[in-house]
Amino acid sequence: MHGPREPYRVLVIDRDRARRERVRSAVVAAGPGPVPPRRGDRRRHLTQPRFEVDGAIDVREGVRLVREALLGGRPYAIVFVDGCGSASTDGSDAIERLWRLDAELQIVLCDDRADGPRAAVTARVGASDRLLLLPSLGDELEVRQLARVLSAKWSVTRTARTYLDELEAAVEARTEDLRRAATHDKLTGLPNRTLLDERLAACLARASKDPAPTFALLFLDCDRFKSINDSLGHEVGDRLLIAIADRLYHGSIEWSGRQVPTLDVFCCRLSGDEFVVLLEGAVCLDAVRAFATTLMEDLASPYCLNGHEVLASASIGIAMGHARYEHPEDVVRDADAAMYAAKGRGTSDPVVFDHTMQETTTRRLALEQDLRRAVERREMSQHYQPIISLESGLLVGFESLLRWHHPERGRVSPVESLALAEDLGLIHELSAWSIHDALSRLATWSSEPVRPPYLFMSINISRTQMRVLDVAAVVGGAIDATGVDPKAVVLEVSETTIMDDPVRSDRMLTDLRERGVRVFVDDFGTGYSSLSCLQQFGLDGLKVDRSFVATVSHRRDYAAIVHAVVTLAHNLGMQLVAEGIETRQQLSMLQGLGCDHGQGFYIARPIAADGAAAMIRNWADLGRSIRRRAA
């Protein structure tokens, strides 16, 4: 960056010594001149630019001087070039050689020949705001004006570039924080489920080509964790989890290095007191059982935590990797089933999954039958979670949430419902109904005489829906049928879903944009999309994942990450929604960070359509309530 008292360096390339001297004198005269006697004039004198001028007789010498200036850290700002003295007929070779060294040079090319260089130079080097083509320099006043204007332009350009470089570095650092938070457990530092699924997917790809087991998954659950956590407190519970993770990691590495050096070992914390260990490579069941037994013995040794001697044990289930597995979740499911079998047997031995442990499969078959009936009979319902403006506290929209309350099994998650619907060929029917129902509600609410001035409906689009549906056609059909304003429709799509098939996603998102529908990235910060993809796909907003919101009020690093996301979104012209707001502190912090919208249990829980309609009619009361609670 150019210092305030540092002179601007100017280079004059001209074979005519008299012309070089004339330009040099004019440029130097553009500086402050002698120090004036009056104080006010002296202050202005100090702020005027200063110039240091060098001369070169030809382009070769000029290139050498530019190179030396760059190496010395004092680059030239302006270069005056005599086009008639250039090696080419139009002076473009000089421009190209100079810009090849320093692309920020402000170049003035002078050529007083009748056939002037303008068209030829522009055709060769292209139009640029760093190049000024003149037939001649004119008088001294013109040269002084050029020196002042071009030096100021050069300085502003360098300052802007430095700022952009610093901003990009800051964004990259925050992005790396987001990636780390998305792929690793914050308490233990172990990889999380996201990385596990990646590793398992690679294992399954290899297993499809090899009939022998090429990996094994161990699912561990701490048997007494809840009682330890309840009796000794959460701090001891957290320390226990950290100690278990440490023993698990180092014990796994030590065993594989001693017993089977060819195995790769991958440890992961799934959630709570559940951990998994993935063994990659040629594995035999006896060796895996021996390894599991060793881990159980290591984990059963006493822990000294906050002055307490804590005894804990683990139940371990094993799933051997075979070609019959198609999805990572299938492997985890079977290892989990084996772990529950081990826990149920009450033994200290690990249990290997077999096909008698298929309660999950049986439940799934029953759910498939029930789902088919529920779709046919329209037994599904939707709830609506309010979304407010964090600046005013006023209601601005709702997120529609698909609900299936099974008469015997209770609530079935939307993810499971949609996966089942895909298997049964009902995904289009169920999705079309849920989207049409949500927009029909929005149309009704938007016609209420008493309502907020602005109201939108946010609809989740799952990975399954994005993969098998023409989402733009389904949403467009619902908009046409209900007559809602397309700009009042927001679709939420996760980063991972978009990047599963970027080409298909780009085509579908383009169709949605052409219809006027807005698209937000859901759970931002938990996937792998690069910053460039935010602009590549023309997205309209981001939803900060609840994992960041949960810690924003008591973790400075997470608050910094959220602030970086807010800045990023606003710089890209996007809106930002924070989900999972559950405390007053979180609400106040997010308001202070400049987040646009928010939702969560502290604001309002998801409610049925009748409750949402009542809230709309009393939207002003909700705003006052939110402002009062945030104060």
pLDDT in tens, 485-516: 999 999 999 877 887 778 778 888 899 989 99
C-alpha to C-alpha distances, 416 to 192, 358, 425, 470, 594, nearest whole angstrom? 21, 17, 14, 21, 35
Under 8 Å between Cβ of 109 and 71: no
Number of neighbours of residue 568 by Cβ within 10 angstroms: 20
Give the separation between CA 520 and CA 492, rounded to whole angstroms: 5
Given a cut of 80, whether residue 241 has pLDDT beyond it is yes
Q: How far is Cα 211 from Cα 323, in angstroms, rounded to an integer?
A: 6
- Beta-carbon contacts of 227 under 8 Å, excluding residues fewer than 6 positions away, are none
Distance CA 591, CA 520 (A): 20
The rounded distance, in Å, linking the Cα atoms of 248 and 108 is: 68
pLDDT of residue 613: 92
Record the pTM: 0.46
pLDDT classification of 213: cutoffs 50, 70, 90: confident
Apex 551 CA angle, 545 and 553, nearest 5: 120
Residue 221 near residue 274, CB atoms below 8 Å = yes
Tell me how far apart the alpha carbons of residues 191 and 185 are, in angstroms, rounded to a whole number: 6
Name the phi and psi angles at 367, rounded to 5: -65, -35
Out of 31-35, 106-110, 290-294, 404-408, pick the least confident.
Answer: 31-35
pLDDT given at position 309: 85
* Listed range (164-173, 277-286, 330-339, 340-349) with the worst mean pLDDT: 340-349
Is residue 42 over pLDDT 60? no
pLDDT range class, residue 597, cuts 50, 70, 90: very high
Helices (H), 320-413: 328-345, 359-376
Q: How far apart are CA 593 and CA 519, in angstroms?
A: 23
Tens-place pLDDT, residues 53-84: 999 999 899 999 999 999 999 999 999 998 76
**Residue 517 carries which side chain, given as an amino acid letter?**
V
Separation of alpha carbons 585 and 578, rounded Å:
14
- Measured CA to CA, the distance from residue 555 to residue 577 in angstroms comes to 19
Q: For the beta carbon of residue 450, count every other beta carbon within 10 angstroms.
A: 9
CA–CA gap between residue 181 and residue 539 (Å, rounded) = 23
Q: What is the largest CA-CA distance in the chain?
A: 101
For domain 8-163, give the CATH number. 3.40.50.2300
Both tokens of 615, joined, read 């809230």
73: exposed, middle or buried (Cβ count in 10 Å: 0-12, 13-18, 19+): exposed
Which of 571, 511, 563, 558 shows the shortest CA–CA distance to 537? 511
Tell me the backbone φ, ψ of residue 108, rounded to 5 degrees.
-115, 115
Distances (CA, A) of 453 to 162, 177, 525, 619: 43, 38, 31, 10
When pLDDT is cut at 50, 70 and 90, the band that residue 193 belongs to is very high
* Selection from 509, 518, 508 nearest residue 596 by Cα: 518
Give CA–CA dist 581/593, Å, rounded: 14
Q: What does the DSSP 8-state code read for residue 486?
A: G
User: What is the predicted pLDDT for the residue at 38?
Assistant: 55
CB 280 within 8 A of CB 264: yes
From the candidate CATH numbers 3.40.1180.10, 3.40.50.970, 3.30.70.270, 3.50.50.60, the one assigned to the domain spanning 193-357: 3.30.70.270
Per-residue pLDDT band for 575 (boundaries 50, 70, 90) equals very high
Residue-level pLDDT at 422: 65
> Which letter does DSSP use for residue 488 in this model?
G
CA distances from 418 to 403, 463, 469, 500 (A): 11, 10, 12, 18
| Among 446, 418, 382, CA closest to 606 | 382
pLDDT band at residue 396 using 50, 70 and 90 as cut-offs: very high
Kind and range of the H or E run holding 43: helix 39-47
Average pLDDT of the residues in 479-483: 96
The Cα 629–Cα 448 span in angstroms is 27
CB atoms within 10 A of CB 563: 17
Distances (CA, A) of 305 to 232, 234, 241: 10, 12, 11
* Beta-carbon contacts of residue 495 (< 8 Å; ≥ 6 apart): 521, 522, 523, 524, 526, 527, 528, 529
Which tokens go with 9? Answer: 């360096």
Confidence band for 360, pLDDT divided at 50, 70 and 90: low
Distance CA(583)–CA(593), nearest Å, equals: 16
Residues of the chain with pLDDT > 70, as a percent, come to 88
Interatomic CA distance for residues 21 and 448, integer angstroms: 80
- Tell me the average pLDDT of the chain: 84
Long-range Cβ contact pairs of 416-421 (< 8 A, separation 24 or more): 416/367, 417/371, 417/380, 418/462, 418/464, 418/465, 419/464, 420/364, 420/367, 420/368, 420/371, 421/371, 421/375, 421/464
CA-to-CA distance for 488 and 443, rounded, in angstroms?
Answer: 10
Radius of gyration of the chain (CA): 34
H-state helical runs in 501-601:
502-514, 531-536, 546-549, 556-571, 584-592
Q: Is the pLDDT of residue 87 over 50?
A: no
Query: What's the pLDDT score for residue 114?
Result: 47
pLDDT at 553: 72
- Domain boundaries along the sequence of the chain: 8-163, 193-357, 378-524+531-545+598-630
**What is residue 399's predicted lDDT score, i.e. its pLDDT?**
96
Measured between alpha carbons, how far is 17 from 111 in angstroms, rounded to an integer? 16
DSSP state of 572: T
Which option is the CATH number for 378-524+531-545+598-630: 3.40.50.300, 1.10.510.10, 3.20.20.450, 1.25.40.10? 3.20.20.450
Closest C-alpha among 481, 476, 487 to residue 519: 487
What is the rounded average pLDDT of the residues 318-335?
89
Place of tokens 């001149």: 33
The answer to whether 178 touches 530, Cβ cutoff 8 Å, is no
Burial class (CB in 10 A: 0-12, 13-18, 19+), 194: middle
Q: Is 408 exposed, middle or buried (0-12, 13-18, 19+ CB in 10 A)?
A: exposed
Average pLDDT over residues 193-209: 90
Retrieve residue 318's tokens.
């094993």
